[in-house]
A and B are shown apart, each in its own frame.
Chain A
Amino acid sequence: MLSPVILVPAVLNGLMNGAVYALIALGLTLIYGVLHIINFAHGTLLTAAMFAAFFAYVLLGIDPYLAAVLLTPAFFGFGYVLQRFVIGPAAHGEDRNYLLVTLGLAVVIENALLYFFRADTRTINLSYAFDTIQIGPAFVAVPRVVALGTVVAIATMLWMLMQWTDTGKAIRAVAKDKLGAELCGIDVAHIYAVTFGLGTACVAVAACLLIPTYYVNPTAGNAFVLIAFTIVVLGGMGSVAGALVGGLFVGVVESLSGIFLGESLGQIGIFIMFIAMLLVRPSGLFGARA
């Protein structure tokens, strides 16, 4: 069982799944880092993006990887509008209200999808979904390699945006000290909305990476978001590096525990890790004290 023939592909597959987890967690942690809120609607936004990618392929024949180019700005705009005109005004800057408003949003989106598309599980068939390439002793699926590459590219782009652009500097300023940033003339409501938009855009990319090999139904995103919560808690709320490392780590753990414990217990393993992590060290492995 411990032979490299099994372990190497398991670790590689874990890393590639983990890359998508990391991307979802990145969106979550970005929003937390700046707005200091946990976005409970993150999972349903992922589901919505998966539906969008699904219908882009089925109705318009747009390849999911191509759809990402269109959906990312669309979901950025959607997230921007949500934060600017719904979440922000309704929450009045109170943490408890943010919790309830994002929860309400999650309920609305999930059930609107249920109402319009029913609980049916849908998949798409792509000619290349089962193509594999050989890496060392392992064969890995092409969509997963693409996913890993895309996530690395997105993370790099996001890092450059944060480091070198004025918007990035403004986001970092607001994250550090909201009042100080406001006094320097930064439009905090706008920066909040931009950050929420970026977080939502991450989810749109993740959806396009998932849809070639995964299914979609109105609750499809929820499973990923619990994993993303785990990653964010593991890596430290608000820590971008933590989200990336944590994502890859959780992907590998899940893949290995799937081999050793079986599929259904793998899911509970993530929960136990999550609860234990929250109880023992809620600030995470990389995070500052919450």
Chain B
Amino acid sequence: MKAYLPILLVVALLAVVPFVTTSNVVLNFLVTTLMIALAGQGWNLLGGYGGQYSFGHAAFFGTAAYATAILQTRYGINAWFGLIVGIAAGASVGAAIGVLSFRSGLRGSYFSLVTLAFAEALRIVASVAPITGAGVGTLIKLDLRPEALQFQGRAPFYWIALALVGLSLMIVRAIENSRFGAYLAAVRENEDAASALGVDCFTVKLGAMTISAAITAAAGCFYAQYFLFIDAPIAYGPWISIDALLAPIVGGVGTLFGSLLGALFIKMLGEATKLVSGDAPGLDLVIYGLLLIVVVGSAPRGIVGFLDAIIGRRSSIVALPERDNG
């Protein structure tokens, strides 16, 4: 239980925000931040803990978003049920891509390339297929009832996003403390050595990818419900693949709270940039790209590493492989 205390504390602290402020601007900002944190936590499990750098997490985000939207608009299925189906759909796509690429032994940059290619292929299919609404996109009908997973104010959305983030933190913490988590770290540090010690690398990577896809898929479902509109560049566009990897890397790759801290940081930076650039697009992403280079180059453990240095402590997950060796 002690391991989960920090998570409960953080979630409880964040849960009171809507009582402090009812400003739509603030809540909207926090809702999108939590959504990116959720998508990033999915990436973090596979990339940060497992060392498999996916450049195509949009594949899971988009599939889930489309599944939620299409089930409601075309088949009249309840949105809550659509949420579950959406997560399952995203996880299945993750498992399928995982089986194909890990079975053929794709590692490192090859894995990044193939995930990128899958996301792009799905984007092209979604932009021409009739079921997704092709170029027009899919609009979910406004129906402001809790049963339809739509709300008048932003606060309920905020709590749902927060609950999803809290759940993802719990899942990742549980994995950290499990045998599976140790295997995953072993695969990240040295796959050949892990394999020689009897770790079933294929199953471990596939499991991580499926859970990772499911978490990012939840963010996709949430997007569809919150904005009620989805098209191919949103669902499968590179923006979400980049945000999903940028948040945990900036926050602290392979750390529990890395994605949440990173998402908060990049979103604040994004808003600050908008104040400077106004409506002109691009400048925020220029800064994101520079940030990625700077963090990788000079602060490989991101904000968490920075905080640890201040309080003079080492974060547990980074120490994990060494503990195994010792």
Distance (Å) between the CB of A43 and the closest chain B CB?
11
Does chain A have a CB within 8 A of B118?
A: yes
Distance (Å) between the CB of B301 and the closest chain A CB?
13
Distance (Å) between the CB of A131 and the closest chain B CB?
34
- List B contacts of A91 (CB < 8 A): 296-297
Across the interface, A114 reaches (CB within 8 A) one of B117, B128, B281, B297, namely B281
Distance (Å) between the CB of A24 and the closest chain B CB?
16
Distance (Å) between the CB of A233 and the closest chain B CB?
8
Determine the residue in chain B with the shortest Cβ distance to A97: B296
A103 touches B55 (CB 8 A): yes
B289 touches A105 (CB 8 A): yes
B249 touches A100 (CB 8 A): yes
Distance (Å) between the CB of B206 and the closest chain A CB?
15
**Cα-based distance from A256 to B24 in the complex (angstroms):** 54
Does chain B have a CB within 8 A of A115?
A: yes
Tell which of B51, B121, B300 has the most Cβ of chain A within 10 Å: B121
Tell which of B101, B118, B286 has the most Cβ of chain A within 10 Å: B286
- List B contacts of A233 (CB < 8 A): 113
- List B contacts of A113 (CB < 8 A): 282
B109 touches A95 (CB 8 A): yes
Determine the residue in chain B with the shortest Cβ distance to A281: B104
- List A contacts of B288 (CB < 8 A): 107
Q: Is the interface of A mostly helix, strand, loop or mixed?
A: helix
Q: Are A278 and B110 CB-contacts (below 8 A) given A97-B296, A115-B277?
A: yes
Complex interface bits, A106-148 against B, C-beta within 8 A gives 1, otherwise 0: 1111111111101100000000000000000000000000000
Does chain B have a CB within 8 A of A226?
A: yes
Across the interface, B124 reaches (CB within 8 A) one of A86, A118, A267, namely A267
Across the interface, B283 reaches (CB within 8 A) one of A38, A111, A268, namely A111
**Cα-based distance from A111 to B292 in the complex (angstroms):** 14
Q: Are A278 and B282 CB-contacts (below 8 A) given A104-B290, A104-B293, A107-B242?
A: no
Does chain A have a CB within 8 A of B108?
A: yes
Interface size on B, residues (CB 8 A): 44
- List A contacts of B280 (CB < 8 A): 115, 118
**Cα-based distance from A91 to B280 in the complex (angstroms):** 31
Does chain A have a CB within 8 A of B320?
A: no
Distance (Å) between the CB of B209 and the closest chain A CB?
15
Interface size on A, residues (CB 8 A): 47
Q: Are A278 and B128 CB-contacts (below 8 A) given A100-B249, A105-B293?
A: no
Tell which of B51, B118, B120 has the most Cβ of chain A within 10 Å: B120
Does chain B have a CB within 8 A of A101?
A: yes
Distance (Å) between the CB of A223 and the closest chain B CB?
10
Distance (Å) between the CB of A33 and the closest chain B CB?
13
A106 touches B289 (CB 8 A): yes
Does chain B have a CB within 8 A of A5?
A: no
Does chain A have a CB within 8 A of B53?
A: yes
**Cα-based distance from A110 to B290 in the complex (angstroms):** 12
**Cα-based distance from A282 to B53 in the complex (angstroms):** 17
Does chain A have a CB within 8 A of B85?
A: no
Determine the residue in chain B with the shortest Cβ distance to A109: B289
A278 touches B113 (CB 8 A): yes
Q: Are A104 and B296 CB-contacts (below 8 A) given A271-B117, A275-B117, A275-B118?
A: yes
B292 touches A226 (CB 8 A): no
Does chain A have a CB within 8 A of B12?
A: no
Complex interface bits, A248-283 against B, C-beta within 8 A gives 1, otherwise 0: 000000000000000010011001101100111010
Determine the residue in chain A with the shortest Cβ distance to B114: A278
Complex interface bits, A1-40 against B, C-beta within 8 A gives 1, otherwise 0: 0000000000000000000000000000000000001101
- List A contacts of B290 (CB < 8 A): 104, 108
Interface residues of B in 120-144 (CB under 8 A from A): 120-121, 124-125, 128
Q: Are A226 and B117 CB-contacts (below 8 A) given A90-B296, A96-B51, A264-B128?
A: yes
Does chain A have a CB within 8 A of B285?
A: yes
- List A contacts of B286 (CB < 8 A): 107-108, 111-112, 115
**Cα-based distance from A95 to B120 in the complex (angstroms):** 23
A101 touches B113 (CB 8 A): no
A101 touches B296 (CB 8 A): yes
Across the interface, B292 reaches (CB within 8 A) one of A92, A95, A107, A264, namely A107
B285 touches A96 (CB 8 A): no
Does chain B have a CB within 8 A of A290?
A: yes
B293 touches A38 (CB 8 A): no
The 7 closest A-B pairs by CB, nearest first: A90-B297, A107-B289, A115-B282, A104-B292, A108-B289, A114-B282, A111-B285
A109-B289, A271-B117 given; name 13 further pairs at CB < 8 Å: A37-B109, A40-B55, A90-B296, A90-B298, A101-B292, A103-B292, A104-B296, A111-B284, A113-B282, A115-B286, A272-B121, A275-B114, A275-B121
What are 24 A-B interface contacts by the 8 Å CB criterion? A89-B297, A90-B293, A91-B296, A92-B297, A95-B108, A96-B51, A98-B109, A100-B292, A101-B292, A104-B290, A108-B290, A111-B282, A111-B285, A114-B281, A115-B277, A115-B281, A119-B281, A218-B282, A271-B120, A271-B124, A278-B113, A278-B117, A282-B104, A290-B110
What residues of chain A have their CB less than 8 Å away from a CB belonging to chain B?
A: 37-38, 40, 86, 89-92, 95-101, 103-116, 118-119, 218, 226, 229, 233, 264, 267-268, 271-272, 274-275, 278-280, 282, 290
